[in-house]
Amino acid sequence: MNIIEFTLLVWVSSLLAGFVGSLTGLGGGIIITPVLTLALGVDIRYAIGATLVSVIATSSGAAAAYVREGFSNIRIGMFLEIATTLGAVTGALFATKISTGTISMIFGLVLLYSAYASSRPRHQRAGDCQPDPLATRLKMNGSYPTPDGPKAYCAQAVPSGFSLMFGAGILSGLLGIGSGAVKVIAMDQAMGLPFKVSTTTSNFMIGVTAAASAGVYLGRGYIDPGLTMPVMLGVVVGSLVGARVLTHAKTRWLRLLFGLAIGILAIEMIYHGLTGRL
């Protein structure tokens, strides 16, 4: 395979990853890293470096559209970003000291749990929503557009969500995934936010988290411009297309897409980590 074919293949893979990442709040990184390492033989640390830059691009491409449409909750995103940014720097510092096989298995286990937890419909809380006092104080409750008009929601268990976001940040720095999978689960399952609000707010947040991690990878020399450029360009285009599709997509199909995409990749990453092929 020559350099042109390789670059084109990376771009097409990134295009699809950006599309799926934009729809599900994953940021594309959770797909790009396995594709680069498993299919194209790229060292996982260089793949993570390129992925982190692509995650920033995804956030820039999709987040603006979601904010304009009224899906993203800016207050929740900025509050939780405090935890994820601190976690991202911590994870990135540990990443260069852990073997690639271990990183791969951790990545696979995170993906596997994410596929299981997020693909299950969240049980609706009975009665009127009882917001967390902290959420009320910080004005985190809001509404999002639906075909029947704006629908109100409230945030619950804010301290639990904040703690999970610190863990999401560590995973972002360690694995280069933007931690979108954990962020979506934290907001959807723990804080009780609607799934579309969770995915769009995750897209808003992942760019900041990835930027904190990318600085560490850049300093260690793990960001290759020749690899990063086609990844970034593909993800940006895919994320913009995904942002247009999400507003009309059904939540049930988004959950199934989320679970299917990362479930397959989880098995692949665990297998290759155990067999030492990375």
In a domain, 202, yes or no: yes
Q: What is the DSSP secondary structure assignment for residue 35, as one 8-state letter? A: I
267 falls within a domain: no
276 located within any domain: no
Average pLDDT over residues 60-74: 76
Question: Which residue has tokens 């934290």?
Answer: 186
Per-residue pLDDT reduced to its tens digit, 207-260: 777 777 777 778 888 888 888 889 888 887 887 787 777 667 676 676 676 677
- Find the mean pLDDT for residues 89-109: 75
For the cut 60, the answer to whether the pLDDT of residue 129 exceeds it is: yes
Three-state DSSP state, 34? helix
CA 254, distance to chain mean position in Å, is 14
Q: Any idea which of 36-45, 115-124, 135-144 has the lowest mean pLDDT?
A: 115-124
CA–CA gap between residue 88 and residue 208 (Å, rounded): 10
* Whether the predicted pLDDT of 160 surpasses 80: yes
Interatomic CA distance for residues 267 and 183, integer angstroms: 21
Summarised one tens digit per residue, pLDDT across range 130-148 is: 767 888 888 888 888 887 8
Query: For the chain, how many structural domains are there in total?
Result: 1
What DSSP letter does each residue of 39-59 carry, written as one string? IS---HHHHHHHHHHHHHHHH
Amino acid at 11: W
Q: Between residues 60 and 205, which one has the greater pLDDT?
A: 205
Domain interval for residue 232: 3-99+124-250
- Percentages helix, strand, coil for the chain (3-state, rounded to 5) are 75, 0, 25
Q: Would you put residue 118 in left (φ > 0), alpha (ψ -120 to 50) or beta? A: alpha
State the chain's mean pLDDT as an integer. Answer: 77
Cα–Cα distance measured from residue 276 to residue 60, given in angstroms and rounded to the nearest whole number: 35
Residue 167 falls inside a structural domain: yes
pLDDT one-digit tens code per residue, 171-220: 767 765 656 667 777 787 788 888 788 878 887 787 777 777 777 778 88
Structural domain contains residue 107: no
In a domain, 90, yes or no: yes
Q: Which of 135, 118, 116 is nearest to 189 (CA)?
A: 118
pLDDT exceeds cutoff 70 at 266: yes
The answer to whether residue 157 is domain-embedded is yes
164 part of a folded domain: yes
In what helix (H) or strand (E) does residue 177 lie, and over which residues does it extend?
Answer: none
Closest CA to 133 of 164, 161, 154: 154
Whether 214 contacts 274, CB under 8 Å: no
What's the longest Cα–Cα distance across the chain? 61
pLDDT of residue 121: 56
Q: Is the pLDDT of residue 34 over 80?
A: no
